[in-house]
Amino acid sequence: MSDSGIQLIVGLGNPGAQYAGTRHNAGYFLVDRVAERSGAELRPEAKFYGLMGRVNHPEGDLRLLKPTTFMNHSGRSVAAVCRYFDIEPSRVLIAYDELDLPVGTVKLKQGGGHAGHNGMRDSIAALGSADFWRLRIGIGHPGSKEQVIGYVLSHPSRADTEAIEDAINDAESCVPEMLAGEYQRVMNRLHSRP
């Protein structure tokens, strides 16, 4: 693994059957896909407030995390893992749902604000840094601010589900490059998706 590659992938979401498959859990979808493809098992870890897994890649070990603190307190889980394993924020990738991107779009970037996303707001505060990588998974916008909460906590249509799954599959296929610190290559690939 390069000395700038990703060591931890965090997927933001809400735990519980009532939230499974909702738009707000797009980050969970990515971690589930990485675990599934790599054969990693996600297990409850009380000290990390979430489900943790480990992937042995040729490029190096990768840890996977799904906080189970509920979205608004995701940072507690992210910070606990980073402290315990001594992982710098710049080597963390947080995947989450993005209202401001069209459904099925996926964008990689480093740093920035929280753009009103409570999981990101809490993660930035808990880490004391915004210098981590973000994988923004487009879920589209319902059209008005008043509809946002109901929209993100509802299930996407079949067509939207397929578009989001395609985006997640493409992002998952870029994990080796992210482990190697080849972020520009990943951005070129993901940002040029049709």
Structural domains in the chain, CATH included, are: 8-191 (3.40.50.1470)
Global pTM reads 0.95
Residue segments in the chain with a per-residue pLDDT below the cut of 70: 1-2, 194
Pick the catalytic residue from 24, 141, 155, 191. 24
Provide the pLDDT for residue 1: 46
The reply to whether 191 belongs to the active site is no
- Report d(CA 91, CA 163) in Å as an integer: 28
70 within 8 A of 19, measured Cβ to Cβ: no
Please state whether beta strands 60-67 and 92-98 pair in parallel, antiparallel, or not at all (unpaired): unpaired
Those residues whose C-beta lies under 8 Å from the C-beta of residue 149, and which sit 6 or more positions away, are: none
Binding-site residue positions for tRNA: 19, 70, 72, 118
